[in-house]
């Protein structure tokens, strides 16, 4: 118990003096992580009181009291059964598991990552493709995409559709909520929401090769106005996502390798922004991965004319979603 | 030169100079290549030099013949058990050094460190693979092999030659993992090797093939062992040894054997399918053409979760024996403990989905498997309460096995609690694939399995070798294991909650650094624990003559394995004991029927030595090595030789030998004379040299 308390203390201390990036669901930035934190504390408290407490008190006490050197304590070498104690030994854990089982059933449904978050605002759609070793975030309704930053407006649910163009990965933003696997040829879903502006750590937790440890991103929650400005900025400055660029992304390389290969990306502060991203790109990548084809049909890439007039496209894109 | 360097041609398959650990370093001498090359070459040299030293010592002391006739061809379950444990200790040493290297890397891993990502990935993959398949499995198989037949009053297992073959296959698998240090690289896909990462598209090298064939050898060995143990327990029990009179360790051995039989095949199927994908272009687990990697996850964990209980149940059995013995008291709640063991064995097949709550199945499925996982907490809780109640109103002696046991219970409770946390899908979504998970499974595997096996080692060592281990160094080592474990793994709980993924070679958050250093110091303490253990073995061998316990019962034991000499005769019992109840040897001591001279002796039939184990080991290794390196002539030749050797063995008719009644009588009388000459010791003196293995008789209510 003392050790457990010490460990918890260290965690809280480190969380308290955290830097500007939020790392953990114990420092929640959205409603899902917030509820996960309470679920965690509840289960921990139930077990600390009902499971660990009695054992950590009784075991050392009995071991000492019934030590070989203590001749004054009772010694019953053949006492090996007591109906009452057996009923308690089985009954105690059964009751504890029943209590916890109720929590599991209730919260598994409440916090199901596939369940849309109830909100007055329609969710922001984001499509995520896992590459080795970076995540591509596509905003299909805005016609833009980003590597390195997942921007989202505060207070509006984000609905993520996730796939992998390579091996299995796992998309995870601890301070916002659950992680979910990305698998080739399949689409998984995740619903998150940020409740205050700020930066949260985003990462892949499923080992996928040499650049695995660098497959991080920033989940950037901002005010709706800032988000609008961000969309316009990305649209204006982004690189056209054509077949050639997508090939570069699909190479096994880290984000910094990609930036080095894209001269225009050097001014984007460690991110890579894309414009001219069609709505059919994500389903086309899912299908191509499932079919094992290397090249995507040309139709999934936005036409060159649309890409060369980003301002026009994006002014439309910003007003398009129902906010 | 370039031809040699690039490919070995048809004769050597994929083997080339590139396969050597120092080749990259010489070709491209960058700083990183040099550091990693030196570490890899150092490790390879240790393997090669170690092998050469062993060969030199065997030659110098003329031990080849005894090694051949007394050990590698032996079909004696006790010898086979000891050889299993030797393999386990060698592999433990390697995998623990790897763990320390990984912790050192992570301690300095802020934005870099000294290990390359590829090297780090091989370390965590070999560490996991070795600790599960070539440390824990051989260790528990060795302990069961040694102890179980004696506990049920048998002369050997049902199939002694098969037992030797199982050992051979395990050794071949272990050798394959060791060879991967010297030639080529091991897998980087972790111990569960999820495709499609381990498919040829993404991992074209030999690494996953080393992993596949090492697991295949070990898996086949364990399946055969499971069958052997189960049949032995069903068929070889002494008269009167009813199921509900079996010592709890034997019960856990039975459950583990059943689990081995049912859990190993899914692994074999999964790795075979992966091999078909890699070698013949099948599409079981690929992204494309109808493959589905989720099927691998299902099959692997359909093996993997019962595997966890294959590992832990024998350890539970050891603790049950040890806590009863060193509390001087009958095991509390025997019936409950048997039921709990069986319940765990059955439930272990119903929870595998909790390894991938995060794969996107719906809330109903996750909730059902989450609750099923928690159900295992019920019988496990019962066990812990019953062990505590065994100490209650006992006379607890804090010997080395008991220090391990108490450390185990306290730490295991914490590990179980973090397991319950992980069984909550909502929490698992947050800590899955982080080092929190790493902390959890080490928290059950180290205090549970490893401490259990070390407890068994200390408990039964005097029985196996006839002298006690040094008690002082035993306690020092045990405390180093306990506190080293706490230092190395408690920080990982916090780091996992702070979002650090497992298998991370480097990180960018300075906030991780202090806890990483604590974990590294903990890992060093664990290394010290291993060194203390080896030092204890060394000085115990040095002082062996002062610590002999030939009479064979140094701890006032309760079950039949204590009722013969230490070390026991190869046939275990001069006369097969007749069992009157539970705790058969304690009953015999109470009725004054222990240490009797029977009126008549009979000839004893024993299995003859057989080279089959060694032959299958060599051929299995050659087959696997050929497959890894695509040396097809070797594959075909080894396969044909395996079939031929089995056919030849099928014609062997003269497979047993007799130990004459006279010899049995002579041996038994020599021992009974020693018993008669011995002075019984009280438990206060059990760790002193006056303990020659005869326990003072314990009368009801009176402390011996």
CA distances from A97 to B370, B373, B381, B436 (A): 11, 10, 11, 22
Of the candidates A44, A114, A208, the beta carbon closest to that of B421 is on A44
State chain B's mean pLDDT as an integer. 94
User: What does the alpha-carbon distance between residue B656 and residue B425 come to, in Å, rounded to a whole number?
Assistant: 56
**Inter-chain touch B413–A289, beta carbons under 8 Å:** no
The pLDDT of residue B285: 96
Model confidence pLDDT, tens digit, residues B210-245 = 999 999 999 999 999 999 999 999 999 999 999 999
Model confidence pLDDT, tens digit, residues B89-133 = 999 999 999 999 999 999 999 988 999 999 999 999 999 999 999
Residues 197 through 256 of chain A touching chain B, CB cutoff 8 Å: 201, 203-213, 216
Q: Which domains does chain A carry? A: 2-67+80-110 (no CATH), 124-319 (2.60.40.420)
The pLDDT of residue A323: 33
Residue A273: exposure state from Cβ atoms within 10 A (0-12, 13-18, ≥19): buried
**Inter-chain touch A210–B121, beta carbons under 8 Å:** yes
The pLDDT of residue B193: 93
Contact B578, B240 (CB under 8 A): yes
Q: Which domains does chain B carry? A: 1-62 (no CATH), 63-610+655-685 (1.20.210.10)
Average pLDDT (A269-290) is 94
Of the candidates B329, B396, B491, the beta carbon closest to that of A63 is on B396
The pLDDT of residue A4: 53
Q: Which residue has the higher pLDDT, A323 or B664?
A: B664
Residue B10: exposure state from Cβ atoms within 10 A (0-12, 13-18, ≥19): exposed
Of the candidates B331, B398, B426, the beta carbon closest to that of A107 is on B426
**Inter-chain touch B330–A71, beta carbons under 8 Å:** no
Model confidence at B20, in pLDDT bands (50, 70, 90)? confident
CB proximity A16 to B under 8 Å = no
Cβ contacts of B511 on chain A, cutoff 8 Å = 14, 18-19, 23
CB atoms within 10 A of CB B513: 14
Contact B363, A109 (CB under 8 A): yes
Average pLDDT (B585-610) is 92
Model confidence pLDDT, tens digit, residues A158-201 = 999 999 999 999 999 999 999 999 999 999 999 999 999 999 99
A17-21, A133-137, B204-208: least confident range: A17-21
Nearest chain A residue to B197 by CA distance is A167
Model confidence at A310, in pLDDT bands (50, 70, 90)? very low
Residues 68 through 127 of chain A touching chain B, CB cutoff 8 Å: 68, 71, 73-82, 85-86, 88-90, 92-94, 96-97, 100-101, 103-105, 107-109, 111-115
Helix (H, G, I), strand (E, B) or coil at B617: helix
The pLDDT of residue A16: 45
User: What does the alpha-carbon distance between residue A219 and residue A201 come to, in Å, rounded to a whole number?
Assistant: 6
The pLDDT of residue B42: 86
Of the candidates A48, A73, A89, the beta carbon closest to that of B385 is on A89
Nearest to B620 by CA among B42, B32, B137, B171: B171
In percent, the amount of chain B with pLDDT more than 90 equals 88
Alpha helical stretches, state H, B584-680: 584-590, 612-629, 632-650, 661-677
Nearest chain A residue to B372 by CA distance is A101
Residues 271 through 290 of chain A touching chain B, CB cutoff 8 Å: 289-290
Residue A88: exposure state from Cβ atoms within 10 A (0-12, 13-18, ≥19): middle
The pLDDT of residue A308: 43
Average pLDDT (B259-286) is 95
Of the candidates A66, A101, A186, the beta carbon closest to that of B395 is on A66
């Amino acid at each position: 118990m003392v050790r457990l308390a010490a460990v918890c203390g260290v965690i809280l201390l480190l969380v308290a003096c955290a830097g500007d990036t939020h790392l953990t669901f114990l420092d929640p930035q959205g409603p899902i992580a917030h509820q996960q934190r309470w679920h965690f504390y509840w289960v921990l408290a139930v077990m600390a009181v009902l499971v660990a407490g009695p054992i950590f008190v009784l075991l050392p006490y009995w071991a000492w009291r019934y030590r070989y050197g203590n001749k004054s304590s009772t010694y019953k070498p053949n006492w090996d059964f007591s109906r009452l104690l057996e009923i308690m030994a089985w009954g105690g854990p059964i009751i504890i598991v029943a209590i916890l089982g109720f929590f599991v059933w209730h919260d598994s449904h409440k916090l199901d990552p596939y369940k849309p978050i109830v909100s007055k605002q329609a969710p922001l759609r984001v499509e995520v493709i896992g590459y080795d070793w970076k995540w591509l975030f596509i905003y299909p309704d805005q016609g833009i995409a980003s590597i390195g930053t997942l921007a989202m407006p505060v207070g509006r649910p984000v609905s993520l559709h996730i796939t992998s163009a390579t091996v299995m990965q796992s998309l995870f933003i601890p301070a916002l909520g659950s992680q979910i696997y990305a698998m080739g040829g399949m689409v998984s879903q995740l619903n998150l929401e940020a409740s205050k502006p700020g930066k949260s750590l985003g990462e892949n937790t499923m080992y996928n090769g040499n650049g695995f440890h660098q497959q991080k991103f920033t989940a950037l929650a901002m005010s709706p106005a800032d988000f609008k400005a961000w969309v316009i900025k990305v649209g204006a400055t982004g690189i056209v996502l054509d077949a050639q660029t997508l090939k570069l992304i699909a190479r096994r390389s880290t984000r910094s390798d990609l930036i080095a290969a894209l001269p225009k990306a050097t001014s984007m502060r460690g991110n890579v922004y894309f414009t001219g991203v069609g709505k059919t790109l994500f389903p086309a990548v899912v299908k191509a991965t499932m079919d094992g084809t290397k090249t995507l049909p040309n139709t999934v890439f936005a036409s060159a004319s649309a890409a060369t007039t980003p301002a026009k496209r994006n002014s439309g894109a910003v007003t398009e979603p129902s906010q | 030169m370039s031809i040699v360097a690039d490919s070995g041609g048809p004769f050597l398959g994929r083997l080339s100079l590139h396969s050597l650990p120092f080749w990259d370093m010489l070709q491209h001498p960058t700083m990183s290549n040099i550091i990693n090359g030196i570490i890899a070459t150092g490790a390879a040299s240790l393997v090669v030099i170690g092998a050469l030293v062993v060969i030199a010592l065997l030659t110098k002391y003329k031990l080849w013949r005894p090694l051949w006739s007394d050990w590698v061809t032996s079909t004696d379950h006790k010898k086979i058990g000891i050889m299993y444990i030797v393999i386990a200790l060698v592999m433990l040493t390697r995998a623990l050094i790897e763990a320390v290297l990984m912790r050192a890397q992570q301690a300095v891993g802020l934005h870099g460190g000294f290990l390359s990502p590829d090297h780090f990935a091989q370390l965590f993959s070999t560490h996991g693979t070795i600790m599960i398949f070539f440390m824990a499995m051989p260790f528990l198989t060795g302990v069961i092999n040694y102890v179980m037949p004696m506990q049920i009053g048998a002369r050997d297992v049902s199939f002694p030659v098969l037992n030797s073959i199982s050992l051979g296959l395990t050794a071949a698998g272990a050798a394959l993992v060791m060879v991967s240090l010297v030639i080529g690289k091991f897998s980087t896909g972790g111990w569960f090797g999820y495709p499609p990462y381990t498919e040829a598209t993404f991992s074209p090298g030999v690494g996953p093939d080393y992993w596949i064939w090492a697991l295949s050898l070990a898996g086949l060995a364990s399946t055969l062992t499971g069958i052997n143990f189960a049949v032995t327990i069903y068929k070889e029990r002494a008269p009167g040894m009813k199921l509900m009179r079996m010592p709890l360790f034997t019960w856990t051995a039975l459950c583990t054997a059943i689990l081995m039989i049912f859990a190993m095949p899914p692994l074999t199927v999964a790795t075979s399918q992966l091999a078909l994908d890699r070698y013949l272009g099948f599409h079981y687990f690929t992204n494309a053409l109808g493959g589905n990697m989720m099927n691998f996850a299902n099959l692997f964990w359909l093996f993997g979760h019962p595997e966890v209980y294959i590992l832990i149940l024998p350890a539970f059995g050891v603790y049950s024996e040890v806590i009863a013995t060193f509390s001087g008291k009958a095991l509390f709640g025997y019936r409950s403990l048997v039921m709990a063991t069986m319940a765990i064995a059955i439930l272990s097949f119903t929870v595998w989905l909790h390894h991938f709550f995060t794969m996107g199945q719906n809330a109903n499925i996750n909730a059902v498997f989450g609750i099923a996982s928690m159900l295992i907490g019920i019988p496990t809780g019962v066990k812990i309460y019953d062990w505590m109640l065994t100490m209650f109103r006992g006379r607890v002696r804090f010997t080395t096995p008991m220090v391990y046991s108490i450390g185990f219970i306290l730490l295991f409770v914490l590990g179980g609690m973090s397991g319950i946390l992980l069984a909550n899908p909502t929490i698992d979504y947050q800590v899955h694939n982080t080092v929190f998970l790493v902390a959890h499974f080490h928290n059950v595997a180290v205090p549970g399995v490893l401490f259990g096996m070390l407890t068994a080692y200390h408990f039964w060592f005097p029985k196996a070798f006839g002298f006690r281990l040094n008690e002082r160094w035993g306690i020092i080592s045990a405390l180093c294991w306990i506190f080293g474990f706490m230092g190395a793994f408690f920080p990982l709980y916090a780091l996992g909650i702070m979002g650090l993924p497992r298998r991370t070679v480097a990180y960018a958050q300075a906030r991780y650094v202090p806890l990483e250093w604590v974990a590294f110091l903990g890992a060093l303490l664990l290394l010290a624990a291993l060194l203390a253990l080896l030092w204890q073995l060394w000085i115990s061998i040095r002082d062996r003559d002062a610590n002999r316990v030939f009479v064979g019962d140094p701890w006032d034991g309760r079950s039949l394995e204590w009722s013969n000499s230490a070390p026991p005769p190869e046939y275990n019992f001069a006369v097969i004991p007749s069992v009157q109840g539970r705790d058969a040897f304690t009953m015999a001591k109470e009725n004054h029927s222990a240490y009797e001279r029977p009126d008549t002796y009979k000839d004893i039939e024993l299995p003859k030595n057989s080279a089959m184990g060694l032959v299958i080991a060599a051929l299995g290794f050659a087959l696997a090595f050929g497959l890894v390196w695509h040396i097809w002539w070797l594959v075909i030749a080894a396969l044909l030789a395996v079939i031929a050797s089995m056919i030849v063995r099928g014609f062997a008719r003269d497979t047993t030998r007799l130990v004459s009644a006279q010899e049995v009588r002579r041996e038994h009388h020599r021992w009974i004379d020693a018993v008669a000459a011995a002075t019984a010791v009280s438990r206060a003196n059990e760790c002193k040299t006056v303990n020659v293995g005869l326990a003072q008789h314990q009368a009801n209510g009176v402390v011996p």
